[in-house]
Amino acid sequence: MRIKGFQGTSLLDFPGRLAALVFTGGCNLTCPYCHNPGLVLDPGQYPDYPPEDLLADLRRRSGFIDGVVVSGGEPTLEPGLEEFLCRLKGMGLQVKLDSNGLLPAVLRRLLDRKLIDYLAIDLKTAPERYSELHNRAVDSAPLLESIELARAADCAYEFRTTCVPGLVEADDIKAMGEAVRGARLWVLQQFVPQHALDATLHDSEPHASQTLHDFAAGAAGYVTEVKLRGDAR
């Protein structure tokens, strides 16, 4: 397990709980709006954080953290992820996993072994537009498989969409809504241009708050609950 970053505590990413945040490097997409471009494009620039050191650190904090958020990059690319999550669960910690959902076989195994307490899967745009998120064609069928896995899973889950102008417009909300129809929770979050992987986005304008509220109203027709995060609340 190659861990590229560690943040002791975060209130934001594990709903209702205090969690540590772990980052892996590398990704199977290069989303233009990605806010972790260094981790995606050149993970080797960051030293590996030895898992044993991290686990020892977590043990020291175990009295006051409830869980660990594993994010990236794309964590499901890490061959040691399953073992790492086993160790976390063995320490009595809750696990939240952030994923782009393109490796459903990995998610299936982790879910079957009950190693995930909260699964967050990104929906980035309409499924038929996924090739716009990389420098080569992207098959979105695995994403649709992951969506079904999440919906059928015992654990809590959310689908979440960063509302990037051009990638997420009203028609894309409809297409994503069809993909997640009947799901429990879909989170729409505001796009923050400043650190985007594609530098041409740095000076771009995010959607207006009203537009995000309109998207949320549209999304509400497909799922049980829609939440807004970011400055559109």
Say which DSSP state 74 is in: -
User: Which of 10, 15, 17, 30 is in the footprint of ligand SF4 by CB under 6 A?
Assistant: 30
Q: Is 100 in the site for ligand SF4 (CB under 6 A)?
A: yes
Which is nearer to ligand SF4, 34 or 110 (by Cβ)?
Answer: 34
With CB under 6 A as the contact rule, which of the stretches 34-42, 146-154, 169-177, 215-223 interacts with ligand SF4? 34-42
161 touching ligand SF4, by CB under 6 A: no
Applying CB under 6 A, among 31, 119, 123, 164 the residue interacting with ligand SF4 is 31
| 80 CB neighbour count, 10 Å cutoff | 13
Tell me which stretch binds ligand SF4 (CB under 6 A): 6-14, 70-78, 110-118, 216-224.
70-78
CA dihedral in degrees (42, 53, 80, 118; nearest 10)? -90
Residue 36 touching ligand SF4 (CB under 6 A): yes
CB of 35 to ligand SF4, least distance (A): 7
According to the binding rule CB under 6 A, does residue 73 interact with ligand SF4? yes
Burial class (CB in 10 A: 0-12, 13-18, 19+), 129: middle
Which of positions 133-152 make contact with ligand SF4 (CB under 6 A)?
none
Q: Tell me, what amino acid is at 14? A: F
Q: Is 74 in the site for ligand SF4 (CB under 6 A)?
A: yes
**Residue 34 interacting with ligand SF4 (CB under 6 A):** yes
Q: 98 vs 117, which CB is nearer to ligand SF4?
A: 98
Which range binds ligand SF4 by CB under 6 A, 3-11, 42-50, 67-75, 203-211? 67-75
Enumerate long-range contacts of 139-146, CB under 8 Å, 24 or more apart: 142/101, 142/102, 142/103, 142/104, 143/100, 143/101, 143/102, 143/179, 144/179, 145/104, 146/99, 146/101, 146/102, 146/103, 146/104, 146/107, 146/121
In angstroms, give the least distance from the CB of 158 to ligand SF4. 15
Q: Does 158 bind ligand SF4 (CB under 6 A)?
A: no
Strands, sheet with 225-229, edge to edge from the N-terminal-most edge strand: 3-10, 19-24, 67-71, 94-99, 118-122, 156-163, 185-190, 225-229
Q: What is the CA radius of gyration of the chain?
A: 17
40 near ligand SF4 (CB under 6 A): yes
Residues that bind ligand SF4 (CB under 6 A): 27, 29-31, 34, 36, 40, 72-74, 100
